Amino acid sequence: MKTFKGSGVALVTPFQTDGSIDFQALKQLVTLQIKGGTDFLVVQGTTGESPTLSQDEKRKVLDTVLEVNNGQLPIVYGIGGNNTAGLAALFQNLPSGVDGILSVSPYYNKPIQKGIVAHFKQVASFTDLPIILYNVPGRTGSNMSLETTLELAEIHNVVAVKEASGNMEQIMDIIRQRKPGFGVLSGDDNLTMPLIAAGADGVISVVANAFPERFSQMVHASMEGNLALAKEAHYDLFNVTKMFFEEGNPGGVKVALAQRGLMSETMRMPLYPVSEGLRSRIQAETKRLLAGL
């Protein structure tokens, strides 16, 4: 069973100005991640604007990433939703090269904790691939509790949780009480360094799309116990990270990616471009960070 540690990146989906997928830009982004020190790639998380892509488009994005990656980094594919039975079909005929699944806790329906457990037990029965749970109450409307996470960790192919609750006590309790081998990944970029210092295994990052070199340096230094370097990189990225989420994700990170010459800033509605003031601040910070690479 694969394990996922270190600097994971939730890949954005690049679009042409007409809204079609920019596959050439996607290839460039994957190449940047491979060269920049990223440890594993997540395809079609929320950062990839997955709610606005058709199943056919999602598969073409996945196939493109697999082609460019060519087995170099582990690949995690996002399959989640709030219609449990309806997810079964999405696990059929996945291509070879997919190493794991990221599956978000059911959103909008707001199930009780027993419902979340039942949902993931069903999802785990659809595949033999390792599953990373994803707890993000700000998007789903409900928190996956400590007790629920620990119960789900007993399922043989549930191998980790991406924790984006922002609740440091809850996350540290998971780290403290988890069974051996169960991974805890930060879902918040600015909490990554302190969480790894507290025992977390890595991150699934947005910021690393634009700055994989510096972000992976921070993650790896944190994991190696080099807290001086980890803190230096953490605070170097601190302001731009806040900017990236100031007016929603992935609008901010796409500004930096455009500045790196990798893609346009285009997103699909209902997402909307960031304000001019925020764009200018991100561009200035991106220029500073790139000068240090």
Q: What is the per-residue pLDDT across 138-161, written as a single tens digit (0 to 9) for each?
A: 999 999 999 999 999 999 999 999
pTM for this structure?
Answer: 0.97
Q: Are 286 and 48 in contact (CB under 8 A)?
A: no
Q: Which parts of the chain are beta strand (E)?
A: 6-10, 40-43, 75-78, 100-104, 131-135, 158-163, 183-186, 202-205
Q: Are 76 and 101 in contact (CB under 8 A)?
A: yes
Q: What's the rounded Cα separation, in Å, for the pair 207 and 200?
A: 18
CB atoms within 10 A of CB 138: 11
Q: Are 26 and 12 in contact (CB under 8 A)?
A: no
Residue-by-residue DSSP string for 30-97: HHHHHHHT--EEEESSGGGTGGGS-HHHHHHHHHHHHHHHTTSS-EEEE---S-TGGGGGGGTTPPTT
Q: Cα 230 to chain center, whole Å?
A: 20
Query: What average pLDDT does this structure show over 272-292?
Result: 98
Show which residues are catalytic.
Answer: 134, 162
pLDDT of residue 1: 63
Domains and CATH numbers, the chain: 6-291 (3.20.20.70)
pLDDT in tens, 12-51: 999 999 999 999 999 999 999 999 999 999 999 999 999 9
